[in-house]
A = this chain, B = another copy of it.
C-alpha cells in the first residue's frame, strides 16, 4: 500500500487545505477561496480509521509539534510523536489553525480580495461552529469518514462540542480539555474587557493598537494563570528596573510585560477580537434547543466515548464547567470519563503539565479509542 505523500509523514508535514468557495458563515457572510493551515504527523492507514483531529487554544497555531519544515518545538511537543501519548506510530494526527486565526488560516488579518485591504471589521461574524465546520472540511479533504478521536483544549475544548453536535457519528471519541458548553460570566467579562481595549484601538483609534493589545494580554494572563503560581514564582520581589507607569517594578510586572510583548508581536488583533467574541457567543444549550426535535438525545451526538478533563485552579474555565460538559455528554448516552486535576498553572495547565496530561491521554487513546 502506498499512501498519498501528505498522508504519510511520520515526522510531520505542513498542509494548506482549501475551504469550499464560498464558505458561508453560520451567522451570515461568506468567504471565497479560503483555506486552513494544517499540520499532520504519522500515517493515515488504509482503513482510514486512525485519524485524530486537534483543535487548539485561542492563541496557538497548528504547530502542535515540531516538523522537518519547522523544527521549533510545538505547543504540545512532548505529547505528540513516536511513542508519546498521542503516538504517531499509531495515529494520523491532524492539527488545524482555527478559521479566523493568523497562522496561515484565513482570517480577518488577510487581504479582502474585493478591496485589497485587510478584512478587519468587514470579516464575517465568526462562531465556534464555523471553526468546527472548517475543521470538518479538513477531515473530508483527507478522505476520513470517521475520526478515531477529536481533541480540543480551551477554545478547542468548546469547538469539539460544536463539532460533535454538527457531525454526529463522524468521530468515535471526543476529548475536551479545560473547555465549556457555555462561557462563564467571569470569562465573558474578562474577554469583553480585552475586546473593548482592542476594539477601541481597531475601531475608533482611541487607543494605540500596540498598547491596547499589550494591556489586553495582561488582563488575559491574570485570568489564565493560577494566583498561587505567581505567588510561588514572584512573591513580593521588586525588580532592579526603573519603575514605569505603574510607579513600581515588581518582578511579576516584568513577567507580565514579557508575556504581553511576546503575544502582541505574533498575534493579529482582529483575529483575537473575532475568535474571542466567538467564544463568548458560544452556547451549546442553544444547539440543544435547535436539535431537540430531530434527535434521540438532546444534542443528537453519536460517540463511542468521551474524556473530559478540568483543572481545579482554573479561574477562566472553572471545573464546574467541565463537570457540566461531562454531564451533558452522559445525557447523550455517551460513556464519559471526567478527570479533575490540580495544577497551579490553572487554565494554562495543559500547555505545561505534561506529566499530568500525558498519562491520561496515553491511557485513554490506548485503552478506549484503539481497537486492537
| Chain A interface residues (CB < 8 Å from chain B) | 182-186, 188-190, 192-193, 195-197, 199-200, 203-204, 206-208, 211, 215, 218-219, 222-223, 227, 230-231, 233-236, 244-248, 250, 252-253, 256, 273, 277, 280-281, 283, 315, 318
In the complex where A215-B215, A219-B193 touch, is A185 in contact with B230 (Cβ < 8 A)? yes
Complex interface: chain B residues within 8 A of A189 (CB): 218, 222, 230, 250, 252-253, 256
Complex interface: chain B residues within 8 A of A183 (CB): 236
For the complex, give the distance between the alpha carbons of A247 and B100 in Å: 15
Instruction: Say whether B315 contacts A246, CB under 8 Å.
Output: no
For the complex, give the distance between the alpha carbons of A247 and B121 in Å: 10
Instruction: Say whether A277 contacts B247, CB under 8 Å.
Output: yes
Residue of B nearest to A186 (CB): B227
Complex interface: chain B residues within 8 A of A230 (CB): 184-186, 189
Instruction: Say whether A185 contacts B247, CB under 8 Å.
Output: no
Instruction: Say whether B231 contacts A248, CB under 8 Å.
Output: no
In the complex where A211-B200, A236-B283 touch, is A193 in contact with B250 (Cβ < 8 A)? no
Complex interface: chain B residues within 8 A of A200 (CB): 211, 245
A119 to chain B minimum Cβ distance, whole angstroms, is: 14
In the complex where A227-B315, A247-B199 touch, is A256 in contact with B193 (Cβ < 8 A)? yes
Complex interface: chain B residues within 8 A of A188 (CB): 234, 236, 248, 250, 252-253
For the complex, give the distance between the alpha carbons of A182 and B237 in Å: 11
A-B contacts, 10 of them at CB < 8 A, read A185-B234, A186-B230, A188-B248, A193-B215, A193-B246, A195-B247, A196-B246, A215-B215, A227-B315, A248-B280
For the complex, give the distance between the alpha carbons of A309 and B277 in Å: 39
Complex interface: chain B residues within 8 A of A192 (CB): 246, 248, 250, 252-253, 256
Residue of B nearest to A211 (CB): B206
Complex interface: chain B residues within 8 A of A223 (CB): 222
In the complex where A215-B215, A236-B188 touch, is A204 in contact with B245 (Cβ < 8 A)? yes
Query: Chain A binding site: helix, strand, loop or mixed by DSSP?
Result: helix
Complex interface: chain B residues within 8 A of A247 (CB): 195, 199, 273, 277
Residue of B nearest to A236 (CB): B182
Complex interface: chain B residues within 8 A of A315 (CB): 227, 315
Complex interface: chain B residues within 8 A of A199 (CB): 244-247
Q: A195-B247, A222-B223, A250-B280 are known contacts; what are 11 more A-B pairs with Cβ within 8 Å?
A: A185-B230, A185-B250, A192-B248, A193-B218, A197-B245, A203-B245, A215-B215, A227-B318, A247-B273, A247-B277, A248-B277
Residue of B nearest to A225 (CB): B186
Residue of B nearest to A231 (CB): B185
Instruction: Say whether A215 contacts B227, CB under 8 Å.
Output: no
For the complex, give the distance between the alpha carbons of A200 and B208 in Å: 12
